Amino acid sequence: MTTVSDTEDAGATARTAQPRHLIVTVYGLYSRSDGGWLSVASLIELLAALGVDEPAVRSSISRLKRRGILVARRHGGAAGYELSGEALAILREGDERIFRRGRATLADGWMLAVFSVPEVERHKRHVLRSQLTRLGFGTAAPGVWIAPAHLHDATADMLRRLELDSYADLFRGDHLAFGDLAAKVRGWWDLEELERQYRAFLDAHTPVGRRGGTPGDREAFAGYVRVLTDWRRLPYLDPGLPEELLPEDWIGIRAADLFFSLKARLEEAARAYVMATISG
């Protein structure tokens, strides 16, 4: 799954996330195995475990419907919503990114993206820039965007999906010379802001990681949705930059360790709670 950009608020944390952010996380985690559909009644019950009341759920569903993320459909006589085709494509695009443990290495090389958009279609230039930023590209020079080479497939898929591929070229290569590449990376990406975001994640979720005992299914569900809602933005802000080019003891590695530890601890019980809720 991934961020669905229209539903994101870069300043949100899981404890204060808007209900629509939590709903997107729930759909991304649990609806696709059942065709992308969930009943309204199930959503209301699931979001209650996260402290969201029924009016807020209904209001958020309406907002997601207006943005083309959810589509109303009845199933077996029950009112509900399914993910739109566009939302499904975006969620599939993000699955590898969000749940990917490894980082790029220098040996992997880099991908460069350059594009040329006619002035009469300059709105597409804005879309291109926004999408490359969303995927985690840095700006190496005016009109030259750079990312670790492993983002090739995700970038190509995005360009095709938005019918922007005719305006862009992708190149793969290595940094041969000149200068300190680590210093350049600090200019191409805002590592200070990344560090701030990672620290906020650690501050919010380290206490959960330290908590002993086995959580109940409902508690595991609430905890997993909260931690994933916080986490799913971060792999887009940090596109898996090579550890060799990052500050020593990079905080992003500790944040990833915490996320995957909590995922292993909470995921199974959280799914059990959802299955019991939607079947009961």
Beta-carbon contacts of residue 58 (< 8 Å; ≥ 6 apart): 40, 44
Residues 228, 19: Cα–Cα separation, whole Å: 14
110-173, CATH topology level? Alpha-Beta Plaits (3.30.70)
Tokens of 147: 């990312």
Tens of pLDDT along the chain (280 residues) come to: 555 543 344 344 445 678 999 999 999 999 887 667 899 999 999 999 999 999 999 999 999 999 999 999 998 888 999 999 888 888 887 888 899 888 899 999 999 999 988 888 888 889 999 999 989 999 998 889 999 999 999 899 889 988 899 999 999 999 998 999 999 999 999 999 999 999 999 999 998 877 766 789 999 999 999 999 999 989 888 899 999 999 998 999 999 999 999 999 999 999 999 999 988 6
Residues 233, 3: Cα–Cα separation, whole Å: 6
pLDDT for res 236: 87
Cβ proximity of 207 and 14 under 8 Å:
no
Residues 29, 24: Cα–Cα separation, whole Å: 9
Cβ proximity of 201 and 230 under 8 Å:
yes
How far are the Cα atoms of 20, 45, 128, 230 from residue 52, in angstroms, in the given order?
A: 10, 9, 35, 17
pLDDT for res 39: 92
Residues in the chain: 280
Q: Which residues pair with 73 in a beta bridge?
A: 80
Dihedral class, residue 58 (left if φ above 0, else alpha if ψ from -120 to 50, else beta): alpha
pLDDT for res 220: 94
Amino acid letter for position 109:
G
Residues 4, 68: Cα–Cα separation, whole Å: 11
pLDDT for res 6: 38
Where would I find the H helices in the chain?
A: 19-30, 40-48, 54-66, 85-98, 122-135, 152-161, 181-188, 191-210, 217-231, 234-237, 251-279
Residue 99 burial (10 A CB sphere; 0-12, 13-18, 19+)? middle
Q: What is the DSSP string of 190-201?
A: -HHHHHHHHHHH
pLDDT for res 97: 84
Q: Would you say the CATH fold of 110-173 matches that of 5-89?
A: no
pLDDT for res 16: 61
CB count within 10 Å of CB 144 equals 15
From the CA atom positions of the chain, what is the Rg in Å? 20
Residues 184, 177: Cα–Cα separation, whole Å: 11
CATH number for region 5-89: 1.10.10.10
Residues 132, 111: Cα–Cα separation, whole Å: 12
Domain ranges of the chain: 5-89, 110-173, 190-279
